[in-house]
A and B are shown apart, each in its own frame.
Chain A
């Protein structure tokens, strides 16, 4: 509690900045991953489908 009263705003601002900095990075990574996935699907549609629809399953 003593720590809380000292200056909670500073900690929360830093936490919010870190969180949203991380979320922005997550969002950009998500777009990059989607673009890579799209390019692979564009180049090898049959193989990708075979892999995700059959190869990955046991039966």
Chain B
């Protein structure tokens, strides 16, 4: 568990080049197609207005739907897969650079609400899934990874938690399949639900940040809805992903430490102690575990928020023409586009079909409950408190 990054550059980096180039070209074409639709719509061309405004066929939709279509019809050569996988994390520098959109007052106001909401939703979902899984006799290995997966951050949290709660590989495959399925379905239907319900940009951004389990997918969905939704979603997601190490520690406590403590106290009839009797002794450095699971890139995002908030004039601002932050404001979308190309081309219907078993039932219940409760929460909070003002 205590491993550090083995190297910044993967030894097989050359294998990533073809797929990465494909994603860059795909992003280039989609951005241009979207831009052309926008120009034609402004010129009053009817079909362009239908596609761009009514159907919301913007670069996000083109990349995601186009990627899925390509991957699942003509297919993608194996030699491209390494690069396509490498394209998805290119969203991360985009998120860091997006820090120039915010000031500390946004972080305190929206981030504070986000922190409160995410902590309630993360621990509420995780604890509920753990308790329900125990009640219905699901193995700890499955309950633990589904709690982490549905509570916080999808696949990353599942993989982080799997060895801690000793999951079986089959449960792991089911859980990942289920989380991928829900993330993909929600990513596409949420923008249309949001529009049908008339959700404000900021409310939609908060809702997807609570309900969609994967950073890349929720940012894609929010960006699809609009810039205001994206700004709120990114900030609330920043609060959320900082909980990944906490939820891994929570799983460790719920499934392992609690049981061992009960066992040591000699309460043989206790359920937790019974679990511990079947478990090998675990000795994990909790601080190291916390550090290993912390998403460090988010520090970069907050550094840019700090620089923008300092308002020194040295770097300007996103609206100050000719300044560094103004240039960044025109650049970050291209990072997102390459990342979204990677997401679209990664979605395989065969992988989604792996969703199944008890994981599906648990995942469906938790994801649906979280989405509905999240929607109620953002309605009650209102748009104003969730709106990023920027500066």
Q: Residues of A with Cβ closer than 8 Å to B?
A: 1, 4, 8-9, 11-13, 15-17, 19-35, 37-38, 41-42, 44-46, 48-49, 52-53, 56-59
- Is the Cβ of A48 less than 8 Å from the Cβ of B159? no
- Is the Cβ of A21 less than 8 Å from the Cβ of B93? no
Q: Which residues of A contact B322 (CB under 8 A)?
A: 45-46
Q: Which 8 A-B pairs have the closest CB atoms?
A: A30-B92, A41-B327, A27-B297, A45-B327, A34-B96, A24-B5, A42-B324, A13-B163
- Is the Cβ of B6 less than 8 Å from the Cβ of A21? yes
Q: Which residues of B contact A56 (CB under 8 A)?
A: 28, 31-32, 334
Alpha-carbon distance between A13 and B1 when the two chains are bound, in angstroms: 7
- Is the Cβ of B299 less than 8 Å from the Cβ of A49? no
B219 contacts A by Cβ under 8 Å = no
Alpha-carbon distance between A1 and B9 when the two chains are bound, in angstroms: 35
B3 contacts A by Cβ under 8 Å = yes
Provide the main secondary structure of the chain A interface: helix
Provide the main secondary structure of the chain B interface: helix
Alpha-carbon distance between A40 and B210 when the two chains are bound, in angstroms: 35
B35 contacts A by Cβ under 8 Å = yes
Q: Residues of B with Cβ closer than 8 Å to A?
A: 1, 3-10, 28, 31-32, 35-36, 39, 89-90, 92-93, 95-97, 156, 159-160, 162-163, 166-170, 172, 292-293, 295-297, 299-300, 304, 315-316, 322-328, 330-331, 333-334
Q: Which residues of A contact B297 (CB under 8 A)?
A: 26-28, 30-31
Alpha-carbon distance between A31 and B96 when the two chains are bound, in angstroms: 7
- Is the Cβ of B162 less than 8 Å from the Cβ of A15? yes
- Is the Cβ of B300 less than 8 Å from the Cβ of A23? no
Alpha-carbon distance between A11 and B89 when the two chains are bound, in angstroms: 24
A30-B300, A31-B299, A38-B324 are contacts. A25–B10 as well, Cβ < 8 Å?
Answer: yes
Identify 16 new A-B residue pairs, CB closer than 8 A, beyond the known A4-B168, A8-B169, A30-B95.
A1-B170, A12-B166, A20-B160, A23-B156, A24-B292, A25-B7, A25-B9, A31-B93, A34-B96, A41-B328, A42-B327, A45-B323, A46-B322, A52-B331, A56-B32, A59-B36
7 of the cross-chain contacts (CB-CB < 8 Å) are: A8-B166, A19-B160, A20-B292, A27-B296, A30-B93, A42-B327, A56-B334
Alpha-carbon distance between A19 and B31 when the two chains are bound, in angstroms: 31
- Is the Cβ of B327 less than 8 Å from the Cβ of A34? no
- Is the Cβ of B93 less than 8 Å from the Cβ of A37? yes
Alpha-carbon distance between A19 and B101 when the two chains are bound, in angstroms: 31
- Is the Cβ of B327 less than 8 Å from the Cβ of A26? no
Output the least CB separation between B141 and chain A (Å): 8
Alpha-carbon distance between A34 and B297 when the two chains are bound, in angstroms: 10
Alpha-carbon distance between A48 and B316 when the two chains are bound, in angstroms: 15
Alpha-carbon distance between A15 and B296 when the two chains are bound, in angstroms: 20
A58: nearest residue on chain B (CB-CB)? B32
- Is the Cβ of A41 less than 8 Å from the Cβ of B5? no
Output the least CB separation between B143 and chain A (Å): 15
